[in-house]
């Protein structure tokens, strides 16, 4: 885990979270991606801010290329937001904390 509230998803935990009751924000990233590392603290801040109200996690595209392909993630960072198991928003590139909060609201 990146912090106490930011999860690291694998294929199974990703599917379980996305199909859960809370909204889910997923950051598709890679260690070698400078913009991905730059947005990391913002993702962690969102995880803290929405603790108990949403699930926030990360998917390493190098480790889980099948998830990236399934959701057509061609640029990183890509942030996907799910509600009730459905993809409701896609944000590409570095985003502000407010943009991420609005996507979850």
Residues catalogued as catalytic = 33, 36
The Cα-based distances of 103 to 34, 46, 69, 88, 97 in angstroms read: 23, 11, 22, 9, 10
Question: Left if phi > 0, otherwise alpha if psi is -120 to 50, otherwise beta: which for 85?
Answer: left
Q: Quick one: DSSP state of residue 49?
A: H
| Distance separating alpha carbons of residues 98 and 61, to the nearest angstrom | 25
């Amino acid at each position: 885990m990146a912090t106490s509230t930011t999860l690291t998803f694998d294929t199974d935990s990703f599917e379980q979270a996305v199909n859960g009751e809370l909204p889910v924000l997923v950051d598709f990233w890679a260690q070698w991606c400078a913009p991905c590392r730059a947005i990391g603290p913002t993702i962690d801040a969102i995880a803290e801010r929405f603790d108990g109200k949403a699930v926030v996690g990360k998917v390493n595209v190098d480790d889980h290329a099948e998830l990236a392909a399934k959701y057509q993630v061609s640029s990183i960072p890509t942030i996907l937001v799910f509600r009730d198991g459905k993809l409701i928003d896609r944000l590409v590139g570095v985003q502000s904390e407010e943009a991420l909060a609005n996507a979850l609201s």
